[in-house]
C-alpha cells in the first residue's frame, strides 16, 4: 500500500491510498478559495446517564444531498473542483470540513471507497475492499496516537433512510475523546462476565453463536457472521474474527486476506434480502476497544438495517428513543435464515 499525503486549500489533511506500493501520485494542489469552517464543538456530560453528548451547531450548514454533478466526494474534473483535487483515486481519506469533533478534542475523517459515484461498498472488488481495510487500519493506528484520543470509531452510514447527506460511497472515522456509551456498557458487561465465569464475554458470544448454527449467516476459516441472540434491529449481523484482538491493527495477514470476501458477501446478502431495486440502507460499525480499560473487549463489526420489510422501516420511536428499550419485529433466527437464503 502506498500513502500520499496532501493538503486542501483550508489546511485540512488529505491522504491517497493506492494498492500498488510503487504508485506515483502527483501532488495536485487544491485551487479553491477555501477558508476553514469555524467549528467549536462542545462535549457535555449528561449527569443523569453518564453519557457524553457533543454539541456541534456549525454542522447545520453542512452540504446536504447535492445532485450527482455537484458531489464533493467525486474526483475533480471538467472544470469543477471537489474535496479531492486529483482527477482519479482508489481510496482517499481527508479531514471532515464540518466535523462533529475538532479543536484538539477529537478528529473526524471521511473515507471515500471509490471514485465512482453510482456504486456502493458491495460493488467493490475484493482487492479494493482490502485496500479500504488497510486504510481503516492505518487511520486507527494514527488516530490512536493523537493526544486525547480514547477510542477510534470506524463506520459507514448508507442510504437516505439512515440520514446520509452525501450519496457517494463513503464512511467515516472518529477519534473520540471519550469512550462511547455503548462501549462503556460492553466493558461493564464483560467485567461482570469475567467475574462470574472467569472467561471472556465476547469469546463466549462467538462460541455460542457458532454452536447454535441457526443464527450463523456465513463463516470462513477466520471470520464468522451471525445474528446476535438479542438482536435490536430487524436484520442485524455481527462479524467476528475467530481470534480475539482489540482493534484492526491486531489482525493477521490471513485474517485480513479473508475479510473482503466475507464482508462483501454479507453486504450483497443485505441488498438481495428484500427483492427491491433500491439498495438496502444500513449502518456498518466497527467496535474497537478503547485505549484504556478495554482489555476484555473484542474487535467486531456490527451491520444492521432499519428496513424490516420491503416497504416498511423500523423507526426507533417511543421505546427505543425514549427509553433505550429495543423491541424487535423479526426473530433473530428468522433473520439469519432469510440472510442465508439471500444468495
Sign of CA dihedral 310, 311, 317, 319: negative
Q: Classify strands 51-55 and 42-46 as parallel, antiparallel or unpaired.
A: antiparallel
Alpha-carbon span 325 to 318, nearest angstrom:
9
For residue 49, give the C-alpha cell.
446517564
CA distance 336 to 225: 10
Gap between the Cα atoms of 45 and 52, Å rounded: 5
Contact in structure between 152 and 136 (CB atoms under 8 Å): no
Query: Of residues 64, 117, 168, 170, which has the active-site annotation?
Result: 170
The answer to whether residue 170 is catalytic is yes
**Number of neighbours of residue 316 by Cβ within 10 angstroms:** 15
What cell does 185 get? 456498557
Cell numbers for 74, please give them: 467525486
The rounded distance, in Å, linking the Cα atoms of 273 and 256 is 26
Residue showing cell 452525501: 166
Q: Which positions are catalytic?
A: 170
Amino acid at each position: 500500500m502506498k500513502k500520499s499525503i496532501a493538503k486542501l486549500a483550508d489546511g485540512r489533511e488529505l491522504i491517497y491510498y493506492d494498492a500498488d506500493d510503487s504508485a506515483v501520485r502527483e501532488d495536485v494542489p487544491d485551487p479553491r478559495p477555501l477558508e476553514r469552517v469555524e467549528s467549536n464543538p462542545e462535549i457535555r456530560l449528561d449527569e443523569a446517564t453518564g453519557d457524553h453528548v457533543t454539541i456541534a451547531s456549525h454542522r447545520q450548514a453542512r452540504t446536504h444531498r447535492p445532485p450527482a454533478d455537484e458531489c464533493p466526494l467525486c474526483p475533480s474534473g471538467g472544470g469543477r473542483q471537489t474535496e479531492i483535487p486529483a482527477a482519479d483515486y482508489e481510496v482517499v481519506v481527508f479531514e471532515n470540513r464540518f466535523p462533529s469533533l475538532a479543536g484538539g478534542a477529537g478528529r473526524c475523517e471521511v473515507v471515500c471507497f471509490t471514485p465512482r459515484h453510482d456504486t456502493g461498498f458491495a460493488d467493490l472488488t475484493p482487492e479494493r475492499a482490502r485496500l479500504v481495510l488497510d486504510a481503516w487500519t492505518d487511520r486507527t493506528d494514527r488516530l490512536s496516537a493523537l493526544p486525547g484520543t480514547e477510542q477510534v470509531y470506524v463506520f459507514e452510514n448508507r442510504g437516505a433512510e439512515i440520514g446520509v447527506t452525501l450519496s457517494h460511497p463513503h464512511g467515516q472515522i472518529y477519534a473520540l475523546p471519550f469512550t462511547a456509551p455503548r462501549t462503556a456498557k460492553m466493558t461493564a458487561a464483560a467485567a461482570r462476565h469475567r467475574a462470574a465465569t472467569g472467561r471472556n464475554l465476547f469469546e463466549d458470544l462467538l462460541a455460542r453463536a457458532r454452536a447454535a448454527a441457526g443464527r450463523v449467516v456465513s463463516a470462513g476459516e477466520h471470520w464468522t457472521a451471525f445474528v446476535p441472540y438479542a438482536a435490536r434491529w430487524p436484520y442485524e449481523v455481527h462479524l467476528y474474527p475467530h481470534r480475539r484482538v482489540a482493534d484492526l491493527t491486531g489482525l493477521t495477514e490471513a485474517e485480513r486476506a479473508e475479510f473482503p470476501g466475507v464482508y462483501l458477501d454479507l453486504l450483497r446478502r443485505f441488498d438481495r434480502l428484500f427483492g427491491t431495486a433500491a439498495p438496502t440502507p444500513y449502518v456498518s460499525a466497527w467496535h474497537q476497544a478503547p485505549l484504556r480499560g478495554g482489555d476484555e473487549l473484542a474487535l467486531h463489526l456490527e451491520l444492521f438495517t432499519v428496513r424490516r420489510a420491503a416497504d416498511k422501516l423500523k423507526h426507533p420511536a417511543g421505546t427505543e428513543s425514549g427509553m433505550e428499550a429495543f423491541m424487535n419485529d423479526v426473530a433473530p433466527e428468522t433473520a439469519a435464515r432469510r440472510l442465508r437464503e439471500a444468495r
